[in-house]
Structure 1
Amino acid sequence: MDSTASEKSIIALDSWLQTPAGVYARAWEQQCLDRLTVDIFGFNAVQLGLPQFDALAASRMPNKWQVDARLPSRQPADSRLKLVSAFDELPFDTHSLDLVVLPHVLEFSAEPHQILREVERVLIPEGRLIICGFNPASLWGARQAMGRLTGRRYLPRATEVISLPRVKDWLKLLNMGVSESHFGCYAPACRTEKWLRRHAYMDRAGARWWPFFGAVYIVQAIKRVKGMRLIGPAWTKNPATAPAGVPVTNKRREQQDG
């Protein structure tokens, strides 16, 4: 998939988010992201893609950026700093960001692996990454698979819908450990707000009885750096536990032996 096709897919996602199903999914994602980001502390946070969606609304970090691969069509109304950049070549120093959020970026990109590698580069050790995606193992995923045969897709056109286990495997290769994951939007693939509201009870039932089959998932990962450990100051060591000095007789023996 080339960059032109990727841009068309992102535009299709922008339009789909305005539909009743898109509003339904975006509301659940916003609620979950607010709950996750409010407790992540640091200084610098970045959201990639979907400029009409504020994934960092609840974050208390002082510096927040919105990075998009397209020029903004109009002047942004919020206070987030807007940057235009390719997602696989971010304009940030290595080990400079505390939090990166990817709302449906990997599914609509030509090089999702390269994007993850670039995110791993800019994150500090113990930095956080949050990914939003559509779950193929859901009613929406089944409807999307049938739409490929009939030509009537439910979700916006994309290269592929990436499952959560596959995303976890990619993160593991980058030494990023998954700390928690969440599923939501259990209603069937309805196109009208009326029928989505009629199946609202399935959100409560699905979260309890079939929690891994929600239409949307959010996963949070932490960047791990091997070989790093915290070292306390030298004056905190107990003198009683310090290694004993070499006996004088041993020193004389060493001198005699050369």
Structure 2
Amino acid sequence: MRTFSEWLHQSELGAYLLKRESAWYDRAVADVFGYRAVQVGLPALDFLRENRIPWQCRAADEGGGHIVCDPTQLPFDSASLDLLLLPHVLDFSSDPHGVLREAERVLVPEGRLMLTGFNPMSLWGVRRMIQGRADAPWSGNFLTLARVKDWFRLMELEPEGGAFMAYAPPFSRADWLRQFDFMEAAGDRWWPLAAGVYAIDAVKRRRGMRLITPRWRAASATKKLLAAGGNDRHPVSRNNDGQT
């Protein structure tokens, strides 16, 4: 049985998908700033290559990355990462909800989480039902977009962007896939929810936070009003002509 990473590199359908996902990550990470960025999963691929954050690393539960770890137990301090990528990590985890909890823990407030996942409500999901789940990528969880967004709401992760991709039927041959190139151009307009893969760009929010302004500003404004209107030591008086 091939792993998902091997399928991406060794199959024509995998190459078709990888081209589109790489293009999305390149665009999505380009303008994200901060101090630390981490990619979890697919360590042989660098989806952070277009990002300019100085400290970057790749982590996975298998060899090939800078760090070997369980995605549900990341070896990073709480609120320490500005950008976290999860390319299909939820699809191939036995505890996808736990992966998102851990992602929320390690992100700083206003930190960015970007992920991709297979859409079961697509032709890719139909092929998975027909041929079974014995091999990658069909062995993945194929979580619905609605379910992932429900988990986001529980963890105060707010989607701010995303994309749909891979509209062509999941044929194994590249020449058959090329015959359906027209579906890529029309998919976002006519049938976005039928895409084989969805991408989400989310921000970690902290509800109830507000900026507290210095008290001396209010005090200063009050003193100016008192000075203009008079006080007990310097009362305002008027003469018989009504002049101040």
Aligned ranges 1:184-199 → 2 under 5 Å: 184-199=165-180
Distance 1:228 1:243, change over 3 A: farther
Measure the CA separation in 2 of the matches of 1:243 and 1:173.
48
For residues 85 and 33 of structure 2, the distance between their equivalents in structure 1, rounded to whole angstroms, comes to 14
TM-score (structure 1 length as normaliser)? 0.81
1:45 partner letter = A
Q: Which residue is equivalent to 1:96? A: 80
Identity %: 41
1:157 to 127, 139, 155: 139
Return structure 1 stretches of 4+ with deviation > 4 angstroms.
Answer: 151-154, 232-238, 241-245
> C-alpha displacement at 1:208, in angstroms?
1.7
**What is the match of residue 139 of structure 1?**
123
Is this contact kept in 2: 1:140–1:155, CA < 8 A? no
Structure 1 residue 182: deviation in Å?
Answer: 0.7
Letter in 1 for 2:146: P
The code of the aligned residue for 1:157 comes to S
- Counterparts of 1:92 and 1:155, CA distance in 2: 29
- CA RMSD, Structure 1 to Structure 2 (Å): 2.5
Q: Which has the larger radius of gyration?
A: 2
Q: Does 1:121 align with 2:105?
A: yes
1:7-45 residue CA offsets vs partner (Å, 9 max, x unmatched): x7xx52122212111111111111111111011111110
Q: Distance in 2 between matches of 1:92 and 1:129?
A: 15
Instruction: State the partner residue of 1:223.
Output: 204
- Contact 2:42 2:60 (8 Å CA) reproduced: yes
From 13, 17, 38, the equivalent of 2:8 is 17
* Local SS of the residue matching 1:52: coil
For residues 180 and 240 of structure 1, do their structure 2 counterparts lie closer, same or farther at Cα, with a shift above 3 Å needed? Answer: same
Alpha-carbon distance, 1:236 to partner? 6.2
Q: SS where residue 106 of structure 1 aligns?
A: coil
TM-aligned CA deviation for residue 156 of structure 1 = 3.4
In the alignment, residue 135 of structure 1 is paired with which amino acid?
A: N
Letter matched to residue 95 of structure 2:
E
Would the alpha carbon gap of residues 188 and 138 (structure 1) be closer, same or farther in structure 2, given more than 3 Å must change?
Answer: same
| Separation in structure 1 between the aligned mates of residue 218 and residue 35 of structure 2, nearest angstrom | 32
Alignment of 1:74-89 (within 5 A): 82-89=66-73
Q: Is the 8 A contact 2:159 2:203 kept in 1?
A: yes
State the match for 1:181 in structure 2: 162
Question: 1:209 deviation in Å?
Answer: 1.0
What is the aligned length? 228
How many Å apart are 1:242 and its aligned residue?
A: 7.2
Distance 2:72 2:224 in 1: 51
Structure 1: 5+ residue runs without aligned partners?
A: 1-7, 77-81, 249-258
Distance 2:217 2:33 in 1: 27
* One-letter identity of the residue aligned with 2:70: A
Cα separation, 1, equivalents of 2:136 and 2:60: 25
Alpha-carbon distance in 2 for matches of 1:115, 1:163: 16
2:83 aligned counterpart, secondary structure: strand
1:109-157: CA deviation from partner (whole Å, max 9, x where unpaired): 1111111111111100011101110111111111111223xx7878332
| Shift in CA distance, 238/204, structure 1 to aligned 2, threshold 3 Å | farther
- Paired residues of 1:45 and 1:63 also in contact (CA < 8 A): yes
Report the CA distance between 1:234 and its aligned residue: 5.9
Whether the 8 Å CA contact 1:147–1:153 is kept in 2: the answer is no
Distance 1:220 1:242 in 2: 48
Matched, 1:108 2:92: yes
* TM-superposed deviation, 1:172: 0.7
User: TM (normalized to structure 2)?
Assistant: 0.85
8 Å Cα contact 1:88-1:118 kept in structure 2:
yes
Contact between 2:4 and 2:136, CA under 8 Å: does it hold in 1? no
